[in-house]
Amino acid sequence: MKITNVRPILTAPDGIALVIVKVETDQPGLYGVGCATFTQRPTLVAKAVEEYLAPLLKGRDPANIEDLWHLMYVNSYWRNGPVLNNAISGVDEALWDIKGKVANMPVYDLLGGKCRDAAMVYRHADGREPKEVLDNVLKYQAEGALAVRLQMGGYGGRVKDINKKNSRPTKKAPQATHRMKSMDNPQGNFPGAYYDPDWYARSIPPLFDYVRSKIGFDLFLLHDIHERLAPIDAIRMAKELEQYRLFFLEDPLAPDQIEWFRRLREQSATPIAMGELHNNPLEWKPLIAEQLIDFIRSHISQLGGITPARKLAALCEAFGVRTAWHGPGDTSPVGHAANLHLDLACQNFGIQEMIFFGDPLKEVFPGIPELHNGYLWPNDKPGLGIDIDEKKAAKYPISIPPIEWTQSRWPDGTIWTP
């Protein structure tokens, strides 16, 4: 069996640019699909697949997944960048899909079989004020959710109205603080997504206090700092949130702030999750080996697919770290399916982030995993169990507008990590 073609498919059924890689073989009707979605740079990933990986892989045996992964990884000499890693992921997941179809087995069986029948997931409850957040929590709880992430005012207390030169907050932005409302300059002089870290740091502990007072402790609660606090403020928040027993606190610090992770670990018992920005093994090795985190949150297409992710999961198991793969709206349904197969096969699974799959996504991607009572269930079909309808995908072309949310700024205009 030989690879005859490797090509990217770009589509945006829910308005988010998704990149899927299709690997075709010389066996009639046998192909695989994989997720290569890097929403911020979709056309670069597509070019990497078309111009570099496809010529490299044509004519090779798709069964040799490990060898082909390393071939793609080292072929450009420089490595561990998000564009190439996502391109490699698309191919890697497609190769696992092919292998499962040839064996007539789901990928989780190829990985050693199921440790569980379904994966517990968490939902996102957002809002501009505590009552709105609580209403969303109660809605998800009524739908059977077991775990919910609480966010208020966007990541870091973003003031959505301040995003254009010389614009000012309005009454529609209750999260805008007195300090931000009263500033004349330089607020708004630089375009971007403005937020107030001081307001944010003071508002989140009371939010959890309010929600816990209404629902008690039977529901798992989570929160994502998204790196939007100074390290000392992140430590303070982790300590203040201990009494609310979070399932985990995500991304309190940037990936390169290892010394601050050590200080955080010494001072707080709040479980910590980290990983969605990781590209390079050197970024996660100290966090895991020194047991500075409790959950690995890696975005598996950022790592290069299932092949490196299963090795990362095994490393985590040795140090008591559980998996919680990144699964936001800019992960394609194919990527969510790959996450689920790892979730089922890894003994040290913790929880899975997931989104609501709308009708356009279900139309384009037949075989999407199903949510029931707080758990994501596989369909047990061979391979990844999911496909892409290319004719329907073509109905939803991608667009590439300027990205605003990554232009995060403090009140004085200083750019900060998104």
Q: Return the axis-axis angle of helices 258-267 and 231-240, rounded to nearest 10°.
A: 30
Evaluate whether 305 touches 93 at the Cβ level (below 8 Å). yes
Q: Which of 108, 194, 223, 226 is catalytic?
A: 226
At 158, list the tokens.
Answer: 């973003």
As a whole number of angstroms, the distance between CA 365 and CA 155 comes to: 29
**∠ at Cα 417 (248, 14), nearest 5°?**
75
Q: Work out the number of other CB atoms within 10 angstroms of the CB of residue 359.
A: 9
Residues near 231 by Cβ (< 8 Å), separated by ≥ 6?
253, 257, 260, 263, 264
User: Nearest-5° angle of CA 204, CA 227, CA 140?
Assistant: 50
Tokens of 298: 């890696």
| DSSP summary character for residue 321 | P
**End-to-end Cα, the chain, rounded Å:** 45
353 neighbors 327 (Cβ within 8 angstroms): yes
Burial zone of 226 (CB within 10 Å; 0-12 exposed, 13-18 middle, 19+ buried): buried
**For 225-332, where are the alpha helices, taking DSSP H only?**
231-240, 258-267, 281-289, 300-303, 306-318
- Is 278 a catalytic site residue? no
Q: Which of 155, 195, 200, 244 is catalytic?
A: 155
Tokens of 269: 């018992």
* Residue 226 annotated as catalytic: yes
Paired sense of beta strands 248-250 and 272-274, if any: parallel
What residue type is assigned to position 190 of the chain?
F
Enzyme catalytic residues: 155, 226
